[in-house]
Structure 1
Amino acid sequence: MNDVPTTVATLCRTLAARIASGEFSADGKLPSERALSEQFATTRITLQEALGQLEAQGVIYRQMRRGWFISPPRLVYNPLQRSHFHAMAQQQGRDAHTEVIDTATLKLCDSLSRRLELPPGTEAYRIRRLRYIDGRAVLYCEHYLNPTYFAGILDADLTQSLTALYAERYGIHYGRVRFDMLPTLLPQEAATMLKVAYGSPSLFITRVNRDQHDRVIDCDLEYWRYDALHIDVEAVANDEG
């Protein structure tokens, strides 16, 4: 390049502009750090700082042992809408699929017992799944189910929507739901499954679901890649404020 960036800020702007112009490969993979260092006549340390800043902005993401990639558009997620993962992706023109990691019957820890409104040590079903958008793993999820309502569910096809499975097989429909959302760092298991570095930033969502009879039926623990999700909520004003 003739116009060689000399600072991290300039390097960030130049890389972002090249990404926006579609200059890089069709699969979204950036050249290696060594190649980029040579192109910009800069040190690996300066380049890595610039790449880190672009990653923090959600422009690019790093996949362990594969390099840097351009981030695809974020999935828009409105918690007030009860659309399930696959339908939500399809509505936005995205391709979604789900992989089951494993299933188990285990005793609940105290925090999960409280969320499911069950005595400590009660056994529950756990389903661990990895969810993909356009071929990229974006969500690691642990589902904890009250087995009273879902006999035999662990033998079902759990790659499909649990929302649909609940309705079709058990006549259970979602009612009230409680969400807790906070930024956090990925635990080891989630990071490994999402193929990112341990301790990478994520959005952690805890969701406790009730059915049409107001019974707590399950609790979901969701770890989202922070660059994969856009929370978009529109609230309707009331007359009391």
Structure 2
Amino acid sequence: MSEALTTVAVICLTLSEKIAAGVFSVEGRLPSERHLSEYFSTTRITLREALSQLEGQGLIYREVRRGWFVSPPRIIYNPLQRSHFHAMVREQGRSARTEVIDAAVLTASDTVCNKLALPLGSEVYCIRRLRYIDGRPVLYVEHYLNPQFFPNILNADLTQSLTDLYSTQYGVSYGRVRFDMVPTRLSEQASWALKVAPGNPALFITRVNRDQHHRVIDCDLEYWRYDALQIDVEVN
């Protein structure tokens, strides 16, 4: 084994043990790359290889212009449970917040029209939101709504749960849902919103929702930070 590979293994093991022991600051920030390079008596290239391996394991993450941080515990996500984001996070003893990036009427792409069972070129409502767990942005989502079912919804408080808003304002509740989950790379928009470098790994979830009358009402395109989520499903 080469000296560089040995050094990478030592760095990974040492930092993993320090993370497990809770050595780093309350906010989980790791020392700077320069400090770590000096501590391990190695080059930045070797150090970054070790940090990239730890990032790939979901132990740490990097924020643009802020440095490296210890990854918080993952949220357990069961797609078979009909619980909205805020409720799911609160039930696990964490804090949730939603920020609206923008909301508008636009001409949907062919892909979105097909998912919503609408004619090509149809106008839809598009709501883009950023969702936080314990103050950390973990989910960038684009919601596409069929305007027929939700008149004037863009004037509502869109930081709240859309599930609750549908129910209280429109008498619409979710029925059958279709999920599609694939590992991917963050899009440029998602990277910017989540404050990470473009191309970072992510879990991409597409969700097409029907209401209690079996009508397709909306679809969500979700980009999750890959270290924020753990899928857990039990089927009888």
Shorter-normalised TM-score: what interval? over 0.9
Aligned partners of 2:162, 2:36: CA distance in 1, in Å?
A: 44
Report 1:1-241 matches (<5 A): 7-236=7-236
Aligned partners of 1:88, 1:143: CA distance in 2, in Å?
A: 18
Aligned partners of 2:225, 2:59: CA distance in 1, in Å?
A: 13
Count of paired positions: 232
User: What is the Cα-based RMSD across aligned positions, in Å?
Assistant: 0.9
Aligned partners of 1:6, 1:111: CA distance in 2, in Å?
A: 48
**TM-score of the aligned structures, taking structure 2 as reference length:** 0.97
The match for 1:239 is: none
Secondary structure at the counterpart of residue 165 of structure 1? helix
Secondary structure at the counterpart of residue 101 of structure 2? strand
Aligned partners of 1:59, 1:65: CA distance in 2, in Å?
A: 19
Q: Cα distance, 1:88 vs. partner? A: 0.1
Are the equivalent residues in 2 in contact too, given 1:108–1:124 (CA < 8 A)?
Answer: yes
Q: Cα distance, 1:217 vs. partner? A: 0.3
Are the equivalent residues in 2 in contact too, given 1:183–1:204 (CA < 8 A)?
Answer: yes
Aligned partners of 1:47, 1:64: CA distance in 2, in Å?
A: 17
Secondary structure at the counterpart of residue 190 of structure 1? helix
Code of the residue aligned with 2:183 in structure 1: it is P
What do the CA deviations read for 1:146-180 (whole angstroms, capped 9, x no partner)?
Answer: 00000010000000000000000000000000000
Code of the residue aligned with 2:187 in structure 1: it is P
**TM-score of the aligned structures, taking structure 1 as reference length:** 0.95
Code of the residue aligned with 2:111 in structure 1: it is S
Are the equivalent residues in 2 in contact too, given 1:110–1:120 (CA < 8 A)?
Answer: yes
Gaps of 5+ in 2: none
Gaps of 5+ in 1: 237-241
What do the CA deviations read for 1:86-125 (whole angstroms, capped 9, x no partner)?
Answer: 0000000010000000011011111111100000011110
Aligned partners of 2:117, 2:6: CA distance in 1, in Å?
A: 58
